[in-house]
Amino acid sequence: MTNYLFKEEQDISNAFNKNGYIIKNINNISSLEYIKNKIVRVIKKKINLKKKIDDIYLLNNIHKFIEVKDLNNFRLFVINEINSDNLFRTHYYKLSRPYLDYIVGNELVMQIKINLSIQFPLDDSSLLATHADTWSGDSPYEAVVWLPLVDCYKSKTMYLLPPKETKKIIENFSKKRLDNSETLYKKIKKKVEWINIKYGEVLIFDQAMPHGNRINREKETRWSFNCRFKSLFSPYGDKKIGEFFQPITMKPITKKAISFKFPK
């Protein structure tokens, strides 16, 4: 098959195909700063800080200011605030634009609402059980852009099951006697890869791979966003355009073609 990809595009494509994900430095620092500053403003809108605190310290230690019983309401408050800000989604896309062009395409739809995870130390109320999004109706044509607002490592991060191991699981799914997600995790826990990612980096991964998190046993809180992107004209699963996705980079010829009519 003829290959017209540039070297950088080919290298990134090869890495994504091999690992099921890529981690890249964010080039658009102004967009990252916009996102971080927005979250800090939202936090200060919700809680009364009596003295000036470093932004990253505040994010890593938000569990010292919010009680576990209030965490879900606080998280929903933050989600509502960011999704009410039209510029937030624009900046989120800009963080990963060149890599999405390489991996997904340049005519994209974007998830309408960006998700947020806040995982306190030793908190078992914010766990994401082992799953693959495609198992619950998502299209395999989707990729997830996962953005940390703090350094994420060890148990303060998420895990992914590599492509080769995912293939084994899928091929033998009916034979594994996997009664629930915890049983599945126990089967794969020695095979999963824990994602080590720093603030200032972005992760793009194939959501058809099993993934999830466990109890955060580090001393700091994890903040991470996730949002799905797919090619405008690729097949959709249960989540449809206009309901879950919104076009963001439609090209001029596409706009013309949508309204094209043959002469009578």
Least confident stretch, 49-58, 141-150, 222-231: 49-58
How confident is the model over 165-170, as a mean pLDDT? 90
Measured distance CA(32)–CA(153) in Å, rounded: 20
DSSP secondary structure string for all residues of 118-153: EE-TT-SSS---SB-GGGGT--TT-EEEEEESS-B-
Percentage of the chain beyond pLDDT 90 is: 82
Domain annotation for the chain: domains and CATH numbers: 7-258 (2.60.120.620)
Give pLDDT, residue 178: 64
- How high does pLDDT run on average in the chain? 94
Q: What are phi and psi of 180, to 5 degrees?
A: -155, 175
pLDDT of residue 174: 65
Give the pLDDT band (50/70/90) at residue 71.
very high
Alpha carbon distances (Å) from 211 to 143, 144, 192, 207, 238: 13, 12, 8, 8, 20
Owner of token pair 């800080």: 49
Angle at 155 between CA 174 and CA 164, to 5 degrees: 35
Average pLDDT score over residue span 74-85: 97
Nearest to 164 by CA among 133, 128, 214, 210: 210
Stated length of the chain:
264
Band (pLDDT 50/70/90 cuts) for residue 180 is confident
